[in-house]
Amino acid sequence: MPALSGVVSSSLCPIDSFGLGCGKSRQLIFPHNLHYSAAKASKRQKIFQVKAGFWESLKSGFTKNSTTQVIEPPSTLQEEEDSLPDEFVLVEKTEPDGAIEQIIFSSGGDVDVYDLQSLCDKVGWPRRPLSKLAAALQNSYMVATLHSVRKSAGSEGNDQKKLIGMARATSDHAFNATIWDVLVDPGYQGQGLGKALVEKLIRALLQRDIGNITLFADSQVIEFYRNLGFEPDPEGIKGNVKTQISLLYIVRE
């Protein structure tokens, strides 16, 4: 029985998620229309195709059980030309009892703040005030989420939807973006979902012509981000970012 927790993890790095110290907060479900992708945002799930190489890495995280299906891309598709939809199915699995689980990526930013707090609890982040969490999401330029939607075989229409991952980015909408708060439910880690989350977020940012994408990584996850195309302390990058050393200033009152 291919429960997802039984999936063998591949060589992909496990994801450690770290919280920001300021105390967690819960949030209200915040509306789609705060993001400019909202005009296109829809609840319909579209199946899209992604570059083959990427999917190879994702597939290797799954068991070879024949009931597991991964949405395959045609190899002719060019990633750069493909416009990223707001919401699409990343992975689809069929379980022996006929139930189907889909992992859905969305950049529409529809996050139930209580779900988010539960997710933060699961990964062990300190609690932050809900209102602050809501505000942070609202003030983020982009919020990407992963949801697991499980449809039981009886086709009764009872879908179980669960938030299993999130990443968000703040930005000035023109030059710079910074990625914060990347987290994946521990029960779904090791499958390349965190990688997918960040990769899609990056693509969405690049599509909006945000050239400088930054983040701060704890030493344990530096390799994870390096594999996604990030460089620590890059040298001599002129332009929007004066780089070499990153400084951190932490304040508590």
Partner 1 sequence: MLLRGTISYTLPTSTLRLRTTYTYPQNVAVSAQSTSSKFSISDQDLESRGFVLRRTVEDLNLDHLNSVFVAVGFPKRDPVKIRVALKNTDALLWVEYSKTQRPVAFARATGDGVFNAIIWDVVVDPSFQGIGLGKAVMERLVEELVGKGICNIALYSEPRVLGFYRPLGFVADPDGIRGMVYSRKQKYNK
Phi, psi of 166 (to 5 degrees): -155, 150
Q: Which residue is listed with tokens 């994870």?
A: 224
Tokens (6 digits) for 11: 């060589």
Give the shortest CB-51-to-partner 1 separation in angstroms: 11
What's the CA gap between 71 and 31, in Å, rounded?
29
The window from 33-41, 70-78, 83-91, 167-175 that contacts partner 1 (CB under 8 A) reads: 167-175
- Nearer Cβ to partner 1 (102/166): 166
Question: Using the rule CB under 8 A, is 33 a contact of partner 1?
Answer: no
Q: Is 114 a catalytic residue?
A: no
Question: Using the rule CB under 8 A, is 179 a contact of partner 1?
Answer: yes
One residue of 30, 88, 105, 125 binding partner 1 per CB under 8 A: 125
One residue of 67, 122, 129, 208 binding partner 1 per CB under 8 A: 129
CA-based max dimension of the chain: 59
DSSP state of 172: -
What's the CA gap between 92 and 88, in Å, rounded?
11
Give the shortest CB-185-to-partner 1 separation in angstroms: 15
Question: Using the rule CB under 8 A, is 21 a contact of partner 1?
Answer: yes
Give the shortest CB-5-to-partner 1 separation in angstroms: 22
Site for partner 1 in 47-76 (CB under 8 A): 53, 56-57, 60
Helix axes 113-122, 130-138, angle to 10 degrees: 110
Question: Using the rule CB under 8 A, is 22 a contact of partner 1?
Answer: yes
In whole angstroms, what separates CA 147 from the centre of its chain?
Answer: 10
The window from 36-44, 91-99, 103-111, 230-238 that contacts partner 1 (CB under 8 A) reads: 230-238
Tokens (6 digits) for 53: 């190489």
Whether 126 and 23 have beta carbons less than 8 Å apart is answered as yes
Among all residues, which ones are annotated catalytic?
A: 225
